[in-house]
Structure 1
Amino acid sequence: MSNAQPALTFEEMRALVRNLPGPDLDSGTAALQRQSQLTKPPGSLGRLEDLAQWLATWQGRHPAELRRPRVAVFAANHGVVAQGVSPYPAAVTAQMVANFARGGAAVNRLCEVADAELRVYELDLDNPTRDFTESPAMDEEECCRAMAYGMMAAEMGVQLLGLGEMGIGNTTAAAALCCALFGGDARGWVGRGTGVDDAGFERKVAAVEAGLAANPQARDDPFEALRRLGGFEFAAIAGAVLAARMARMPVVLDGYACTAAAAVLFKADRRALDHCVVAHRSVEPGHSRLLEAIGKDPILDLGMRLGEGSGAALAIPILKAAAECHAGMATFAEAGVSDRA
């Protein structure tokens, strides 16, 4: 993350949320009308029909196009790792970023299958956030700088933005963030992450509880929750989601940590994630609870919990299929097929 990024403020971020562009209803209506003319029984393509209409609505064009999808993975480190919340050391974050660069990770292969561009954004891996059990993870300037950095992923011309993350300890941060945003107790939001044993699970619960006790203001404001309990990659994802909305760019969210980051915007405005779909349901138990809280039905449910944008990349071919069926199928009139009487 470059130090050249402008220092924004939470108030500027809140102003963006207050002025979110709405859906393109004309494009959505055109998609709905075309669906009724295609050579198939009404509703027979199920959710593919809904996804085609969603793409048109948020691209602001009909039919939608998916020639230039991008998967953006944000990588950062977390001070809370010092609490023993992960079986892996923080050094693995940088090692996995190097693996992405070599093309050796699952997301590399899945992006190749999807014919999607992969971009990896590092956020000061040598300097993790502060341990949120002792103090806020970030100050406001650090959080806003990371949000501004994330906004860079929503570049002009990208037709669909898939988002993911890499960061040892970030399921602990996700659980703490969700607990602050949506209530409940820590144990209900904590999962096994990268595979902690029972003792590690209890350390995660204790860390979330300590983080909430040390940062009571996190329950009062979603941006305060983000800076106090999240991480640099969480802030970057929130920034990317916000910039994509301003650019009328549909977004595919990956798993638990990614959805938790986006949920900050949902708490600021319940319409803020209307341009987003969730790629898959993570086996992290908190993810199902979070999906219910934000009213999102994931596209896939394959028992995955890898992160690194893998679910977002995997969902892209399904979205491409939805767009291609919608744009390329013949209508009843074109095919000379009798419609319903």
Structure 2
Amino acid sequence: MTAGAPTWSSDAVLRRLRGTGEGLVRSTGPGAAADRVMGRALTGFLDRIAGRGSGPAVDGIVALPFLVHGTHSGDPAPAEPAAVAHVLWWVSARYVDDLSDAAPRPPAAADTDSADQDLLAVFGIACHLATEVLDEGCRDDPARALRLRQELSRAWHLAIAGQLADLTATAATASAEEVMDGYLGKTGAPYAMAAAMGAVLAGCDEARVDAWRDFGARFGVLRQLVNDQRDIASGRYEDLRNGTATLMVVQYLTSLSGPERVVAEKLLVGCADSAAAREEFAARLTEPSQLRAFAAATGPLIDGLHASIDEAGGVAEYVTGLHALVDQTVNLYPDFLLGARG
């Protein structure tokens, strides 16, 4: 982030992870079978990032702990273990999320074997590889390593709770508050982890760590809102097909009168099997009046993030970087008017 010689970058973190993955694929020592499947899963994830053009999404995952650390220390580089662990968290979580989003189909025997290996691999990445990275980064400070492991454990616990809420909620019955609670878990928790780890590595006291954890959770909610928009903007419509209770859908349904809502709910049910229904429902979600209403509802979240950054203060360069990270997230899909005023 510095003008002269940047001390971190998303590309550097991804190169480190690719090196780790390729090394695991070549493993011949104890646990080599586990190493190799973890290595293949990790390198496969990195290949998919490149193929999907997911750079901006990865930048947000990587940047947060570096920027938090930089605000307190002036040097973000020591936050690298937190950034790497955060990416590894998403390697695991996105695989599990893809399983829940995928349309059911009877797998062939060979597919079943591969799927079983992939599932074991992401558990190994989540439970072993991420912890190994954190311990290595705090080799001379076991107490700090323990705090980082506790953040990792907390993130998984809250994220599982949030994902369970997501799997059981229905758009027709969920309230906006219930959806937001789920978002705070399934996406807020890992970003809370990343921000808190950055603060721990910077030597912050517990009160500061708590404040950054809260900021990270709210930033994660913002990232989830944008991820929901990405599903619409990309034309994938996975959330519509699966009947997921996203905030956009729930607020749209809540805005409708009785007869209008009945029609909209029937159309949403049709999204499971009909591409035409998905297209029509997406068009309704993205009508200008709906987008302006959604922007008004989410404005306080965005304003609160900026206020928290200013309240925390610190090294100006990285404070500015945190503001820019929020704004970058808000503006990933400008046609959706997220954060617009008036």
Instruction: Give the TM-score of the pair, scaled to structure 1.
Output: 0.30
Structure whose residues are more often helix by fraction:
2
Higher relative contact order (CA 8 A, sep 6+): 1
Structure with the bigger percentage of strand: 1
